[in-house]
Amino acid sequence: MKHLIFSIGLLLSFSSRAQVFHVSDTSALLVKTTSQSPAHWYIEVFSDASVDTMLRWKATHFDNIPPEWEILMDDQTVSHSNVQVGDSADFNLLANQPFATKLIIGGMLNGTPGHGICYFDIYDPYNPSVFQTISYEFIVTPTTNGIADLNDESFLEWKDGFLKVKDERDADFEVFDLSGKSVVKSKLINKFETSSLPKNQLLIIKVKLDNKQAIIKIIN
């Protein structure tokens, strides 16, 4: 009987440590030009509990964020400026409300193009072992029209109306508009024909090949 009571106690303890929230998406994409500063978007956090919960966000890793940028985080109650890796703050997640709490990323771009990702962990500060990692990816191009590359694009070339991989290997091509909406879903191909894209519109082509990546801005 004692063993049974002890087992039930462990089960209740484990249940009480379960995650009490979920997110709508684990990543957000911001496609902007340098003139669209501050650049901002959000990820929604929903409560899975019947009572209000205090959660914490923590900046865990910034990948390739230009030093000229200033990263902001806003939980709709408090706005935090100049967020650095390791910074964290608590926020209240309200239960039984018809809308989600938004964790709003911001980037003061200071005229600097770049392509980087900010990673955050979301968790109950009393139960930090149960967490959700979210990320905000910034693709920021110069304001000027034409083609602009933010990464080494030596594996690509323009030829006969195609954007193609020089050594004919297949790469992952995806096209976005400036709102971050995917215009063409990822395609694993070795050349991409741009003539079929929407006309008179500024678009972003993201190309991944192995551990290399290129960002191309194009007006078709």
**pLDDT for the residue 3:** 45
Nearest to 194 by CA among 210, 205, 185: 205
The full set of domain ranges for the chain reads 19-141, 156-219
Give domain 19-141's CATH superfamily: hypothetical protein (bacova_03559) (2.60.40.1740)
**pLDDT for the residue 18:** 66
Euclidean distance between CA atoms 31 and 178, whole angstroms: 5
On the question of pLDDT at 61 being above 50, the answer is: yes
Can you give the pTM of this predicted structure? Answer: 0.71
Q: For the sheet with 101-108, list strands across it.
A: 21-23, 39-47, 101-108, 70-74, 79-80
| Contacts of 88 by beta carbon, 8 Å cutoff, 6+ apart | 56, 57, 58, 59
- The one-letter code for the residue type at 17 is R
Under the banding of pLDDT at 50, 70 and 90, the label for residue 218 is confident
**pLDDT for the residue 63:** 94
Tens of pLDDT, residues 110-147: 999 888 999 999 999 999 999 999 999 998 887 654 44
Contact 67, 84 (CB under 8 A): no
* Helix H or strand E encompassing 55: strand 53-63
> Higher-confidence residue: 149 or 71?
71
